[in-house]
Structure 1
């Protein structure tokens, strides 16, 4: 079953394009995680928080990644991390425009620019 994982934590920056440049390698690493369908990066500079919303193919991959990413954030000396996993209600989500993401089938998708980029439907 598809599982969504939500991370949120206090973050001192950098933000925007500076974060994009600083985290490019991390993003490439995250893109190779087993079971990851996609990640949305979140920034709230005014509140000093960052995070991400991840969609995984199953709860086991989401949990394995949660543990790995919590260790990574701790090594970066970031504290106050919250991480919550949720089962995805696919039927309702499709009704609210999440259809393309929830129709993910690794047998029907292929990389556009190699493994560093999001796949497209075949």
Structure 2
């Protein structure tokens, strides 16, 4: 498994407005190859949007990051940060991290 963290400057609607405006996009993300889940992130005071994603493998995470970055650039977003992380599963399990989804380690 790989964790992908993406954030970017976002001047659009947040909160309930964002939820209503992007429901279609959220649904389409579920169809991405290798995606297990996504947590949407927003920070109104710093004008940031983004997400934390869990993918089955690094190839899926890289492919999604490339596609998502191109989509954001097409929307006029220029400062995009995407980082792929390994997960320390033993420590994450101690802290009840939501990465196990029926898996036993």
TM-score range, shorter chain: over 0.9
- Residues 53-98 of structure 1: CA distance to partner in whole angstroms, max 9, x if unpaired? 0000110100010100000101111111000000111111111111
Matches within 5 A, 1:17-96: 17-96=16-95
Structure 1: distance between partners of 2:64 and 2:19 = 21
Could you list the runs of 4 or more consecutive aligned residues of structure 1 that deviate by over 6 angstroms after TM superposition? Answer: none
Structure 2: distance between partners of 1:13 and 1:94 = 36
TM-score of the superposed pair, with normalisation by structure 2: 0.93
Which structure 1 segments of 5+ residues have no match? 107-122
The structure showing larger relative contact order (alpha-carbon pairs under 8 Å, at least 6 residues apart) is 2
SS at match of 1:102: coil
Structure 1: distance between partners of 2:46 and 2:100 = 34
SS at match of 1:91: helix
State whether structure 2 residue 9 is matched by structure 1 residue 10. yes
- Residues 9-59 of structure 1: CA distance to partner in whole angstroms, max 9, x if unpaired? 000020101000111111011011111111000010111111100000110
Task: Answer yes or no: is the 8 Å Cα contact 1:9–1:80 preserved in 2.
Answer: yes
TM-score of the superposed pair, with normalisation by structure 1: 0.80
Root-mean-square deviation (CA, aligned residues, Å) is: 1.3
Aligned residues: 103
Structure 2: distance between partners of 1:9 and 1:41 = 12
